[in-house]
């Protein structure tokens, strides 16, 4: 049995952070209903990457909203709002990611909803929490990366700030919202009471950096210092990083510098390797000079039997063609209303050995109004 | 407030980051987490120092990940120790580990065996690459997963070598997924009484982290992601999305109509880009024009123009500015915790609040084996009598 079977989630969300949380709950068995404005639906339907669409909706929308239902309603229309309130009475979970105050103005704040349904778990995502000078700023991923210091961890010493090239704040915050909602459901099983669960993108990025911020809080407040070349982590010692080879790139994690001194014939670092952090740049430069002389395959053949932790830096062609990738059945097909199919990733969690795949696409706006009017209302 | 997991006992065999970050979250949500550690050395991350920071005899990383837990040392190859662990497992709600595939089986601590002594146990396991395929024996280490999974071609500019992301994000995502799976099983157990096996891997989590870009790759004719030559912040997004140098610092600008931006900052060459499709197609030239223009004034100047117009922008700051703001207005994002010997330190706190309350705990990091005596004399002796 899928663990969240029989649970109903109402998703008043757009773009990525909230919808990615709805997606996870859908994959784990919940019935997730997107509440959307009539005709246009949520903003994410038109937000495309690389201008890529599948029918009227972006491929990105299907990626984040597959396996859900859609119920369209004009929340400013009293008759529609009344239906939504009926849905709230039947729901187990409600999530939203509007800016602070919007749901309250609609009469759908936590207190209102708890009045309708005392067992409701009400989850909300904001950008920056409800306090502080940023509270009304748009909760957008790159902006959060910028103010949370994240830009100073990737790239090399002399590079400008380098952001993470994926929507990490949205992603991590969605993960945290699911954790909070599920723990609310666990508490509800004991008490019968619902709960308000709040997360925000800023707190999620602080948590995401918990190791390095804790270090900063206890090292006299020093700022991160990226390696001069091949940096992979501002706080880790040589050889941790990425190195060019004759035909590509090799990543090396924490390893035995004595071994590398001999294997790469770089005796000039012998006097430095007692402190791989202080002498990081000199050691990494010597390793880089040696690794350039042979192919990635040559180094893997040498290092892997010696249990040196390394890997080829692959692109998507190499990654998705690899038998290690294929063996794990990491893709699934979703079927669009016009019969075409679209390949996407799947839920990363297995329970009782079961994968949670589903061919359901992102729903058309209001596709399930009639069905839900009959079954739930 | 009663924390939601305040009646849950977690026996955690994991080390490093992925597993322990999951049990940290369970601890913050109220669970009692007992780390099972090897006598003498313990969790290897106790002494995995980052930079040169040592805090009361252990690494800052270990403290960040393992506060709010107990430590019980046991030699899992010693039958006496193992029998104590088995008694503990009988009482546990959750067992979790992140050993390479096969290790827990050899120790007799795999799910099938533990289910026989505790039918409703929830068993969480993290592997590097899953239990199938040629990568299954490879070390499950964050940078290697970033390298193998194509992730290093998303950050940095097109003229840079592959750029890893400077946080162990695959470990963190995997730990987050394990928590989701375990909590989902607790939800189910409350309904059905049944336990379950939760399996996650760093490989699956690395794909999930890239679900947007991989799905794009699967459906755009398998084109590789292309980082822009300058100011890249996401290879799949059009201009102006990126970070730009100003006269005195850096400014980030997210999705914004290019012509509107051009008008606001008085940069006429940008005003001709009125077609949204062109913001992706012509992103290199747009970014080149924009980056030259933004260099002419200070960050504050641009913010004063752009913020009132509701353009999505922000200054690029360091932790100093961030922590100054948090200490003024969001104090619950950090907390002070105490070890049993009185050593105190400041660290981050749980990012989730429940009914408006932060999930904090003053309990610091355990020293190695500090809870053996307590657990032997209370929990285990009571249990042995029961059995």
Interval B190-231: pLDDT, tens? 999 999 999 999 999 999 999 999 999 999 999 999 999 999
Provide the pLDDT confidence category of residue B381 given band limits of 50, 70 and 90: confident
Which pLDDT value is given to residue B52? 83
Q: Is A210 on the interface with B (CB under 8 A)?
A: yes
Asked if the C-beta of A192 comes within 8 angstroms of chain B's C-beta atoms, the answer is no
Is a pLDDT exceeding 60 seen at residue B118? Answer: yes
d(CA B327, nearest CA chain A) in Å: 10
pLDDT digits (tens, 9 = 90+) for A3-21: 999 999 999 999 999 999 9
**Cross-chain CB nearest to A146 (options B166, B177, B315):** B315
CATH topology of domain A8-208+329-375: Rossmann fold (3.40.50)
Name the residue with higher pLDDT: A136 or A31.
A31
Q: Confirm if A125 and A95 have CB atoms less than 8 A apart.
A: yes
**Contacting A residues, span 65-94, partner chain B, CB-CB under 8 Å:** none
Name the residue among B163, B187, B205 with its Cβ closest to that of A162.
B163
Per-residue pLDDT, averaged over A43-49, amounts to: 93
Cβ contacts of B93 on chain A, cutoff 8 Å: none
Which residues between 109 and 128 in chain A have a beta carbon less than 8 angstroms from any beta carbon of chain B?
A: none
- Work out the average pLDDT over A142-160: 97
For chain B, what percentages of helix, strand and coil (3-state, to nearest 5) are there?
40, 15, 40
Q: Any idea which fold B242-316 has?
A: formyl-coa transferase, domain 3 (3.30.1540)
Residue A268 has pLDDT above 70, yes or no: yes
What band does B386 get if pLDDT is binned at 50, 70 and 90? low
Candidates A151, A166, A245, A350: best to mutate against B (most CBs of B within 10 A) is: A166
Q: Looking at residue B336, what is its pLDDT? A: 96
pLDDT: which is higher, B245 or A376: B245
Chain B hits for A49, CB-CB cut-off 8 Å, are 212-213, 216, 236-237
Check: CB of residue B9 under 8 Å from CB of residue B91.
yes
Residues A140-159 have a mean pLDDT of: 97
Q: pLDDT confidence of A255, banded at 50, 70, 90? A: confident
Residue B387: what pLDDT? 47
C-alpha A298/C-alpha A296 separation (Å) is 5
- Name which of B381, B384, B378 is nearest B70 in CA terms: B378
> Considering CB atoms only, which of B147, B160, B322 is closest to A311?
B147
HSE (CB half, 13 Å, CA atoms) of B78?
A: 9
Q: CB distance A317–B224 less than 8 Å?
A: yes
Locate the domains of chain A by residue range: 8-208+329-375, 241-313
Catalytic-role residue among A96, A216, A233, A374: A233
pLDDT digits (tens, 9 = 90+) for A71-118: 999 999 999 999 999 999 999 999 999 988 999 999 999 999 999 999
Mean local confidence (pLDDT), B331-344: 94
Instruction: Tell me the shortest Cα–Cα distance from A321 to chain B, in angstroms.
Output: 11
Q: And the tokens for A281? A: 């740049």
Q: Cβ–Cβ of A348/B204 closer than 8 Å?
A: yes
Q: Tens of pLDDT along A311-353?
A: 999 999 999 999 999 999 999 999 998 899 999 999 999 999 9
Q: What is the pTM of this model?
A: 0.98
- What confidence tens digit (pLDDT) does each residue in B2-41 have? 999 999 999 999 999 999 999 999 999 999 999 999 999 9
CATH number among 3.40.50.720, 3.30.70.270, 3.30.1540.10, 1.10.3720.10, domain A241-313? 3.30.1540.10
- The confidence band for A122, taking pLDDT boundaries of 50, 70 and 90, is very high
pLDDT digits (tens, 9 = 90+) for A285-310: 999 999 999 999 999 999 999 999 99
Residues of chain A neighbouring B188 (CB-CB closer than 8 A): 1, 3-4
Average pLDDT score, chain B: 96
Distance, CA of B279 to CA of A131 (rounded, Å): 35
**Residue in B closest to A58 by C-alpha:** B216
pLDDT of residue B51: 83
Using CB atoms, pick whichever of A28, A63, A182 lies closest to residue B215: A63
Would you call B113 exposed, middle or buried from its count of C-beta atoms within 10 A (0-12, 13-18, 19+)? middle
Positive/negative CA dihedral, A319, A323, A324, A330 = positive
Sequence-separated (6 or more) residues with CB below 8 Å from residue B85: B11, B36, B74, B76, B109
Question: Which CATH number applies to B9-209+332-386: 3.90.1150.10, 3.10.450.100, 3.40.50.10540, 3.30.460.10?
Answer: 3.40.50.10540
The residue ranges of every structural domain in chain B are 9-209+332-386, 242-316
State yes or no: pLDDT of A216 exceeds 50. Answer: yes
* pLDDT value of position B385: 61
Distances (CA, A) of A358 to A67, A350, A355, B204, B213: 7, 14, 10, 17, 20
Tell me: the pLDDT tens digits for A202-212? 999 999 999 99
Which residue shows structure tokens 């040629």? B134
The answer to whether A233 is a known catalytic residue is yes
Q: What are the tens digits of pLDDT across the range B293-328?
A: 999 999 999 999 999 999 999 999 999 999 999 887
């Amino acid at each position: 049995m899928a663990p969240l079977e029989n649970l109903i989630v109402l998703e008043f969300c757009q773009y990525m952070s909230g919808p990615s949380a709805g997606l996870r709950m859908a994959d784990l068995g919940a019935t997730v209903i997107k509440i959307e404005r009539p005709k246009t639906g949520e903003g994410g339907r038109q937000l495309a990457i690389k201008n890529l669409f599948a029918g009227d909706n972006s491929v990105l929308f299907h990626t984040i909203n597959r396996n859900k239902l859609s119920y369209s309603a004009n929340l400013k229309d009293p008759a529609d709002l009344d239906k939504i309130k009926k849905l709230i009475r039947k729901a187990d979970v409600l999530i939203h990611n509007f800016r602070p105050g919007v749901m309250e103005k609609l009469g759908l704040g936590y207190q209102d909803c708890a009045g309708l349904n005392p067992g409701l778990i009400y989850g909300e995502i904001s950008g920056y929490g409800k306090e502080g000078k940023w509270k009304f700023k748009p909760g957008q991923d790159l902006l959060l990366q910028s103010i949370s210091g994240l830009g100073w961890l990737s790239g090399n010493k002399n590079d400008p700030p380098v952001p993470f090239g994926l929507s990490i704040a949205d992603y991590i915050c969605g993960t945290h919202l699911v954790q909070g909602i599920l723990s609310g459901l666990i508490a509800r099983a004991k008490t019968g009471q619902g709960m308000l669960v709040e997360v925000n993108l800023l707190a999620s990025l602080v948590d995401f950096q918990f190791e390095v911020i804790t270090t900063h809080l206890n090292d006299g407040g020093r700022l991160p210092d990226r390696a001069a070349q091949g940096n992979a982590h501002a706080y880790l010692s040589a050889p941790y990083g990425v190195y060019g080879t004759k035909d590509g790139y090799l990543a090396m994690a924490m390893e035995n510098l004595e071994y590398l001194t001999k294997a790469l014939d770089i005796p000039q670092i012998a006097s430095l390797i007692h402190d791989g952090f202080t002498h990081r740049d000199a050691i990494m430069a010597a390793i880089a000079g040696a690794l350039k002389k042979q192919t990635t395959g040559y180094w893997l053949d040498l290092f892997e039997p010696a249990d040196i932790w390394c890997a080829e830096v692959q692109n998507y062609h190499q990654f998705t063609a690899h038998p290690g990738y294929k063996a794990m059945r990491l893709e699934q097909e979703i079927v669009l209303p016009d019969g075409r199919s679209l390949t996407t990733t799947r839920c990363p969690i297995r329970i009782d050995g079961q994968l949670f795949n589903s061919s359901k696409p992102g729903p058309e706006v209001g596709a399930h109004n009639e069905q839900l009017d009959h079954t739930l209302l | 407030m009663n924390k939601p997991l305040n009646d849950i006992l977690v026996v955690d065999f994991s080390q490093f980051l992925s597993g322990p970050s999951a049990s940290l979250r369970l601890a913050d949500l109220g669970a009692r987490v007992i780390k099972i550690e090897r006598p003498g050395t313990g969790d290897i991350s106790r002494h995995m120092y980052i930079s040169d920071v040592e805090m009361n005899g252990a690494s800052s990383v270990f403290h960040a990940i393992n506060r709010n837990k107990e430590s019980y040392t046991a030699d899992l190859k010693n039958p006496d120790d193992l029998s104590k662990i088995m008694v503990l497992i009988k009482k546990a709600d959750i067992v979790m580990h992140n050993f390479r595939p096969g290790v827990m089986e050899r120790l007799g601590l795999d799910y099938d065996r533990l289910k026989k002594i505790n039918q409703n146990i929830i068993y969480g396991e993290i592997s590097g690459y899953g239990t199938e395929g040629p990568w299954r024996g490879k070390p499950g280490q964050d940078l290697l997963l970033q390298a193998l999974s194509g992730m290093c071609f998303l950050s940095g500019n097109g003229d840079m070598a592959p750029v890893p992301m400077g946080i162990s994000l695959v470990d963190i995502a995997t730990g987050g997924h394990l928590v989701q799976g375990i909590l989902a099983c607790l939800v189910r157990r409350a309904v059905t009484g049944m336990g379950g096996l939760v399996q996650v891997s760093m490989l699956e989590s690395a794909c999930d982290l890239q679900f947007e870009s991989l799905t794009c790759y699967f459906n755009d004719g398998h084109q590789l992601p292309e980082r822009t030559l300058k100011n890249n912040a996401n290879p799949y997004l059009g201009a102006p999305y990126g970070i730009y140098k100003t006269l005195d610092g850096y400014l980030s600008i997210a999705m914004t109509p290019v012509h509107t931006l051009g008008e606001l900052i008085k940069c006429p060459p940008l005003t001709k880009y009125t077609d949204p499709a062109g913001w992706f197609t012509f992103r290199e030239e747009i970014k080149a024009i924009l980056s030259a223009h933004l260099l002419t004034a200070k960050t504050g100047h641009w913010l004063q123009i752009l913020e009132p117009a509701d353009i999505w922008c922000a200054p690029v700051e360091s932790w100093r500015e961030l922590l100054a703001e948090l200490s003024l207005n969001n104090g619950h994002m950090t907390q002070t915790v105490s070890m049993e010997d009185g050593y105190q330190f400041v660290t981050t706190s749980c990012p989730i609040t429940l009914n408006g309350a932060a999930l904090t705990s003053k309990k610091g990091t355990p020293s190695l084996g500090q809870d053996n005596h307590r657990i032997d004399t209370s929990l285990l002796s009571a249990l042995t009598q029961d059995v």
